[in-house]
Structure 1
Amino acid sequence: MRIVQITDCHLHADPRARSRAGFPLRQLEAVVNAAIGEHPDLVLVTGDISQDETAASYELAHGLLSRLDCPWFWLAGNHDQPQLMEPVKAIQREVDLGGWRLLTVDTSVPGQAHGEIGETRLAELVEQLVADDRPTLLAMHHPPLGLGSEWLDAIGLKDRDALWQTLADFPQVRMILCGHIHQALASRRQGVAVYGTPSTTDQFLPGSADFAIDEASRPGYRIVDLTDGEWLTWVERVDL
């Protein structure tokens, strides 16, 4: 089972719109074309599909992602409007991967840049985990770890300690994929691997105390190859 993770597209209604360092729609198209060449079984888009929070931006994303030769799924980030996403393509809470499960965790807080799962959504996650002990991959927008970057950590997942306390009872959770950070990340906590992935738009400078763009880096995506309870994963960058 091969998964490609794409994240942080930050599209506008205007297909010609610029970001700080490029052109979001053009860059997403390049990433999608590269992802097609990886022959994935599934593509996962981990939030911030839109920058201007318009219905038209989600239609643009849907048009590009529908070129994929496999199922694809998306979830909301802090820049997204789930009520505009749902009519275009429903957000799935669970995807059956055969020997694995994919569970999506909504960390978005309306009107806020930081993330929070909250007691209700944590309780729903517990119900899902109790029901099935297959190896499980969680996908969420905000990272469940601190990054050592002051400005990014200030808009991270506020209740991450509650998440980790919850996961302590469920060893089947093997991996978490996140977006939001616009850079590659590979870390581990409580035996769970945590991976972040480059944006399809601008990249953030790792370790920066203040907001900064990494102008030397390129858009990218993550590949995750799942086998029987094990995996290989790496990041690919895209030339523009």
Structure 2
Amino acid sequence: MRLIQITDCHLHADAQARSRTGLPHRQLERVVAAAAGLRPDMVLMTGDISEDRTAASYAEAERLLAPLACPWFWLPGNHDEPGLMADCRPFHETLDLGRRRLLLLDTQRIGQEAGELGEARLTALAERLAEDDRPTLVAMHHPPVAVGSAWMDALGLTDADAFWDVVAGHAHVEAVICGHIHQAFVGRGPESAGGVPVYGCPSSSDQFLPGAEDFAVDEASRPGFRVIDLTREGLSTWVERVDL
């Protein structure tokens, strides 16, 4: 099975609105075309679909993803308006991948850039992990590990330790997929939780400069997406970049 992750589109109601380095609508269109060419079985959008939190921006996302010949799903990021997203396309908490499951977590804190699961969501995650022992992928917007950029690490998942405490009781968690960081990234959770791999993804819009102390855009980098191939033997993953 091939899963493709697209993230941090930052769309506006106005399709001609610019980001810091380009046109988010045109960039997402190119990303979707490249992703479709790799024939995914499923596409997952890991948050910050919108920049202006408008119904029209989510309608634009649906229009731009229409060329995909596979199901696609999304979860909210810190820039999103979950109510408008759900009105446009329902959320899913669990996706059946056959031999695996994919759990989608909402880490949004209303009005905050950083993310949080909170006690209720952590309890629900523990219950969902306990109900099925198939290999499981967990997707969220905010990274649950430091990514090496001081400013971004201050805006990650604030209760990451509690998240990993839940994961530690469930050895079938195979990987965590996150958005928010606008860059390719591979890390690991704590050894106490099994050292689960954590994969970040380039944005379909602006790219952030890896390793930066303060906010910085990587103007030399290109939009991209992550490909995740799931087989009997395990998981393989890589990042594809898109020429504009």
TM-score category (smaller protein): over 0.9
TM-aligned CA deviation for residue 157 of structure 1:
0.6
- Counterpart CA distance in 1 for 2:100 and 2:66 is 24
Matched position secondary structure for 1:158: coil
Listed as ranges, the matches of 1:115-194 within 5 Å are 115-189=115-189, 190-194=194-198
| Structure 1 equivalent of residue 41 of structure 2 | 41
TM-aligned CA deviation for residue 187 of structure 1:
1.2
- Counterpart CA distance in 1 for 2:89 and 2:77 is 15
| Structure 2 equivalent of residue 29 of structure 1 | 29
CA contact (8 A) 1:6 1:43 kept: yes
CA contact (8 A) 2:134 2:172 kept: yes
TM-aligned CA deviation for residue 175 of structure 1:
0.3
Letter matched to residue 239 of structure 2: V
Specify every segment of 5 or more residues in structure 2 that has no aligned partner in the other structure, as ranges: none
CA contact (8 A) 2:143 2:156 kept: yes
Specify every segment of 5 or more residues in structure 1 that has no aligned partner in the other structure, as ranges: none
Residue among 213, 217, 223 paired with 1:213 = 217
- Counterpart CA distance in 2 for 1:205 and 1:71 is 32
Q: Deviations along 1:181-235, whole A, 9 cap, x unmatched? A: 0000011223311000000000000010110000010000000000126111000
Q: What is the TM-score of this pair, normalised by structure 1?
A: 0.99
CA contact (8 A) 1:100 1:229 kept: no
Identify which range, 45-54 or 190-199, moves more after superposition: 190-199
- Counterpart CA distance in 2 for 1:208 and 1:191 is 25
Matched position secondary structure for 1:102: strand
Please give the root-mean-square deviation of Cα atoms over the aligned residues, in Å: 0.7
1:224 and 2:221 matched: no
CA contact (8 A) 1:135 1:229 kept: no
Q: Deviations along 1:149-203, whole A, 9 cap, x unmatched? A: 1110111110000000111000000100000000000112233110000000000
- Counterpart CA distance in 2 for 1:52 and 1:204 is 20
CA contact (8 A) 1:182 1:199 kept: yes
Matched position secondary structure for 2:43: strand
TM-aligned CA deviation for residue 81 of structure 1:
0.6
Q: What is the TM-score of this pair, normalised by structure 2?
A: 0.97
Letter matched to residue 225 of structure 1: D
- Counterpart CA distance in 2 for 1:155 and 1:193 is 20
CA contact (8 A) 2:7 2:49 kept: yes
Letter matched to residue 77 of structure 1: G
| Structure 2 equivalent of residue 202 of structure 1 | 206
| Structure 2 equivalent of residue 17 of structure 1 | 17
Q: What number of residue pairs does the alignment pair up?
A: 240
Matched position secondary structure for 1:198: coil
- Counterpart CA distance in 2 for 1:217 and 1:66 is 26
- Counterpart CA distance in 1 for 2:11 and 2:85 is 13
- Counterpart CA distance in 2 for 1:229 and 1:153 is 33
CA contact (8 A) 2:145 2:188 kept: no
Runs of 4+ in 1 over 2 A off after TM superposition: none
Letter matched to residue 199 of structure 1: S
Matched position secondary structure for 1:125: helix
